[in-house]
Amino acid sequence: MAQANNPTRRPRGKLIVISGPSGVGKSTITRAVIGRLRDVYLSVSMTTRPQAPGEQDGRDYWFVSRDEFRRRIEAGQFLEYAEVFGNLYGTPRDKTEAALEAGRTVILEIDVQGGRQVKAICPQAVMIFILPPSRQTLVDRIGRRGRESGEVVARRLRAAEGEIAAAAECYDNRVINDDLERAIDDVIRIVENAPDA
Ligand code: 5GP
């Protein structure tokens, strides 16, 4: 993804991957960061997971069938994709590429499997992993969201522990969300210091 050395072209944007276990406050931090920085594009992922109440197609996710998702994999339309909790999620390649070309900072809020793929394709991508202050906080936050059944909550907790362990290898930035404002400031500083993708 390196840019040819052409001084008349705008520099490419930065590529930022934000991951972390569910319930850790990733979306809250990401939204705040986007509100405070200029020229940031938050990638809208495509998913086969059912649309939840309050979610909007094209804003929260692009909701598609499994067949449609498979078709798009075959067509090479994803920068990365992964199966998470039994559903497919992927980052549309064309929109992120266009935003990077336009010099915008692109933020991907994706899981660790996807993060690894992005880092392999684009080594300049800056990887941020958001951590809960403690295991108990994570248990409380996942349980409180109330969107899922007890079994799903237990599965998400196990997945969270797996993600935290797996993140150690390719996430060079770790931010502990024990104080929201400080966590937001930390992420902003990391984004500001990130190299162009
Ligand atoms: P949720 O269904 O709770 O919105 O998301 C479940 C998980 O899927 C979260 O860890 C989220 O970061 C991840 N996810 C969302 N979009 C993508 C994507 O495009 N690619 C990958 N690999 N993971 C994603």
Tell me if 91 CB under 6 Å of ligand 1.
yes
**pTM exceeds 0.85:** yes
| Amino acid 168: pLDDT | 84
Q: Which residues contact 105 (CB under 8 A, 6 or more apart)?
A: 13, 14, 16, 37, 39, 40, 41, 191, 194
List the chain pLDDT tens, one digit each, 197 residues: 555 555 566 789 999 999 998 888 999 999 999 999 999 999 999 999 999 999 999 999 999 999 999 999 999 999 999 999 899 999 999 999 999 999 999 999 999 999 999 999 999 999 999 999 988 888 888 877 666 678 888 888 888 888 888 888 889 999 999 999 999 999 999 999 999 99
Quick one: which atom of ligand 1 is closest to the CA of 90? Answer: 19
Q: How many CB atoms lie under 10 A from the CB of residue 1?
A: 13
| Amino acid 7: pLDDT | 57
Tell me if 84 CB under 6 Å of ligand 1.
yes
| Amino acid 160: pLDDT | 87
Q: Which helix (H) or strand (E) holds 110?
A: none
DSSP assignment of 22-84 equals TTSSHHHHHHHHHHHSSSEEEPPPEE-SPPPTT--BTTTBEE--HHHHHHHHHTT-EEEEEEE
| Amino acid 175: pLDDT | 97
Tell me if 93 CB under 6 Å of ligand 1.
no
| Amino acid 8: pLDDT | 63
Q: Are 175 and 128 in contact (CB under 8 A)?
A: yes
* Rounded Cα distance, 71 and 91, in Å: 14
| Amino acid 76: pLDDT | 98
Nearest CA to ligand 1 atom 19: 90
| Amino acid 62: pLDDT | 98
